[in-house]
Structure 1
Amino acid sequence: MAARESISLEDVARMPTPGLNSPVNVSFSPDGRIMAFLHAPGPQSSFSRQLYALDVASRRVSLLAASPGKGNTEDNMSYNEKLRRERQRQMGVGITSYAWNPSPHSHSCSNFLT
C-alpha cells in the first residue's frame, strides 16, 4: 500500500490552487494558423498573465506581450478597481484580455488588439 502524503492548510488555501495555473482566454487567429492565450508563468502563486502565441504548424510558443515592470498588482490598484475585480471574480493581473484584429488581411501575431 502506498504511503499517504499529508495535506497542510497552506496546500488547501494556496492560490491558484494546485494544478489550476493553466492558460486562459484561448482563441485562434481568423486564419486558424495561430492560437493565442494568456498564461501566468513561473511559480504557482503568480497571477501576472502574459500574452502568448502558439504557431499551430511548428508548435512553437512565443511571448507576444507582457506588462511593463511588475504590471498591475493588488498593491498598486485603486480600491474601486479591487472591488470591480472581486465582483467579476477576476484574479489575474498583467494582461487580462486581448482580441484579434478582425481585418481579413491580418496574417501575423502583430494584429492583436490588447
Structure 2
Amino acid sequence: MDYVQFAEINGCEITFDIDIKKPKTAEFSIYGLTNHLNSKEYLQKAKEYDYSNIDFSRYSFTKKIDTRKEKLNSIQELEKILTELTHIVKKEKYEPIPITEIKPVSNTV
C-alpha cells in the first residue's frame, strides 16, 4: 500500500505520496487544470519544469524528492521547496482540482 497524506500550503492543496516500490522518493503533487495553454505552450512549460525536477501535466504539478540525493536538513527547507512549487503553480494560472475526500482502498476480493 502506498502512503498518501494531504496538506495545504500557500492556499494550494498538496498530496504527499511515498510509493512502496520507491520508498526513498517522496512525491508532492498539486492538482489543477492548465487548459488555457495551447499544445506548443504546454510542451515548452513541461520541458522548462523538467529542469526543476517538476513533472508538469494538464492535471497536476508534481515535485519529486529523492531522499538519497537531496539531503534536507530541516522542515523549513522542505517548506521552502513546497512554497516555491505553489508559486510556480499560481504563476501558471492553474484551475485547482479540490481534494474533497479520502476514500479508502479495499483489499477484499
TM-score, normalised with respect to structure 2: 0.33
* Structure whose alpha-carbon radius of gyration is higher: 1
Q: For CA contacts below 8 A with separation 6 or more, give which structure has more relative contact order.
A: 2
TM-score, normalised with respect to structure 1: 0.32
